[in-house]
Amino acid sequence: MAEKMIAYCGLVCTECPAYLATQADDMEALERVAARWSEEFHAPITAAYCLCDGCLSDGGRLCGHCAECEVRACAIARGLVNCAHCDDYGCEKITGFFKFAPGAKATLEEIRKAL
């Protein structure tokens, strides 16, 4: 297993089912992820949309949402490892995201404690 990859927002890419299925080159698993996310997010999501090499990958495939994520774009523009390292931590972008992903907040809070 690869080292833990923590996205800019605090999600753990290496634990994401889309990332895991992509790395295993398992299209059936990607189809299952797409079906689950389509139902969960009430949106038409395809297996191709779920292909992902992780948020921090340089030139790799990004899950559809990650490619357009404003939190990711902001962190990259600021040259951050992730949002835990930001002087503006707790901004509207990241706190809005935490409403959907409380686990990401916990991850970033742990990183901030160690800084």
Measure the CA–CA gap between 27 and 34, rounded to whole angstroms. 10
Between 31 and 3, the higher pLDDT residue: 31
Of the candidates 5, 2, 52, which has an alpha carbon nearest to the alpha carbon of residue 26? Answer: 52
Q: Per-residue pLDDT tens for 18-70?
A: 999 999 999 999 999 999 999 999 999 999 999 999 999 888 899 988 888 99
> What φ, ψ does residue 23 adopt, rounded to 5°?
-65, -30
pLDDT score, position 26:
98
Give CA 50 to chain center in angstroms: 11
pLDDT surpassing 90 at residue 106: yes
Of the candidates 56, 63, 102, which has an alpha carbon nearest to the alpha carbon of residue 79? Answer: 56
Number of neighbours of residue 109 by Cβ within 10 angstroms: 13
pLDDT surpassing 60 at residue 2: no
Q: Per-residue pLDDT tens for 60-77?
A: 899 988 888 999 999 999
Q: From residue 103, give the alpha-carbon distance in Å to each of 17, 34, 115.
A: 15, 21, 19
Q: Per-residue pLDDT tens for 85-98?
A: 999 999 999 999 99
Contact 66, 55 (CB under 8 A): yes
Number of neighbours of residue 53 by Cβ within 10 angstroms: 18
